[in-house]
Amino acid sequence: MTLRRHPSLPGYEARPGLVRWAVTARLAIRAIFELARGRQAFAKSAPAAFLRENERLATVARPPASALPGDDLLVRQVGYMIPRMARRVPWRADCLVQSLAAQRWLASAGIASVLKIGAERPDGAGFNAHSWLAYGDMVVTGGEVDGYEVLLG
């Protein structure tokens, strides 16, 4: 029998298993809570509200240039937990909901991030839209975004 090896939670790779499990459980619960809040925001807000929130966070939260020592670790942990929990919640948690959830989580810690919405035009008449959250040059949620042209953010 072979056990699948999952990537460890950033910052806790060398810790004992029980410590990793406890921290992972705590962050998973927070991720589910933030995904629920993100889903509510998505259902109640217009896209213009997301842009206003981006602008507000740029003025009140810490940008990457003035980050505190633990900011990068929290950003990586949020980027680790949000997509994993989004696959497990009983509601739809697509890219925009994940981006909103991660942005709210980081904002609660005083960390500025930028919600971006882009589109790609594959061969054919339609286009694919996608949302992601960026912290400086790092993509927090949204995966591979190289093929998308930024429309908002």
On whether the CB atoms of residues 146 and 140 are closer than 8 A, the answer is no
What is the per-residue pLDDT for 5?
A: 57
Tokens of 39: 């889903």
Q: What is the mean pLDDT of residues 52-77?
A: 89
CA–CA separation, 15 vs 101, rounded Å? 27
- All structural domains of the chain with their residue ranges: 17-112
Q: What is the mean pLDDT of residues 78-96?
A: 95
What is the per-residue pLDDT for 138?
A: 93
Q: What is the mean pLDDT of residues 4-26?
A: 79
Q: Which residues contact 14 (CB under 8 A, 6 or more apart)?
A: none
Q: What is the mean pLDDT of residues 46-54?
A: 83
Q: What is the mean pLDDT of residues 27-52?
A: 90
Across all residues in the chain, what is the average pLDDT?
87
On whether the CB atoms of residues 107 and 56 are closer than 8 A, the answer is no
Q: What tens digit of pLDDT does each residue of 98-125 get?
A: 999 999 999 999 999 999 999 987 776 6
For CA atoms 73, 75, 80, 86, the dihedral sign is positive
Q: How big is the chain, counted in residues?
A: 153
CA–CA separation, 61 vs 71, rounded Å? 12
Over 60: is that where the pLDDT of 84 sits? yes
